[in-house]
Amino acid sequence: ASRREETSEKTETKRETAAETKRETEASKNTTPAAAPTEAVADATRSAVVAYAKQFVGNPYVFGGNSLTNGTDCSGFTRGVYAHFGISLPRTSRSQAGAGRSISVGDLQPGDLIFYANGGSIYHVAMYIGGGQIIHAIDESHGIGISGLNTGRVYCAVSLLLYAAVQNIVCPSLRGLCL
């Protein structure tokens, strides 16, 4: 009787295993593959950076300022937003243009930085937020706000998130050059 019970238990275990395998196979047929993890992380990071930056719209512009709530200038704004995510940027817009990886305006993604120049001298930085728009500390009359991207005046652009989100670290060796 014990041998019959043992054989019966083995047969039942095989049936359960076969049924479980069949359920798993059927379930895998009914699901769509997930986006590549690195792509999902990069998109989530970009969205988080933009969402964080947007909460300061309407706050004051102060030349040389560093406070996202009490007043900042353009480079203080981008520096402060990225500092929240553990990414260090130099203080001036001209210096920030050398951080990250140089990209073309056609490759802009939310969170990338855009630099404006006059006669080759960088004077302003803004953050691309998608949809042809930028967020930046505009001037004393407008404070921090959202504007349309004026591509005709863009001197260069850099991405700080191109590899940082994928590696989940800030990589100081990612240095790009503008024009």
Q: Which residues are catalytic?
A: 74, 124, 136
86: its two tokens: 């553990």
Separation between Cα atoms, residue 88 and residue 96, nearest integer Å = 10
Single out the residue of 150, 137, 148 nearest to residue 105, CA to CA. Answer: 150
DSSP 175: B
Element holding 138 (H helix, E strand): strand 133-139
| DSSP calls for 22-87 | HHHHHHHHTSPPPPPHHHHHHHHHHHHHHHHHHTTTTPPB-TT-EETTTEE-HHHHHHHHHHHTT-
Burial of 71 (0-12, 13-18, 19+ CB in 10 A): buried
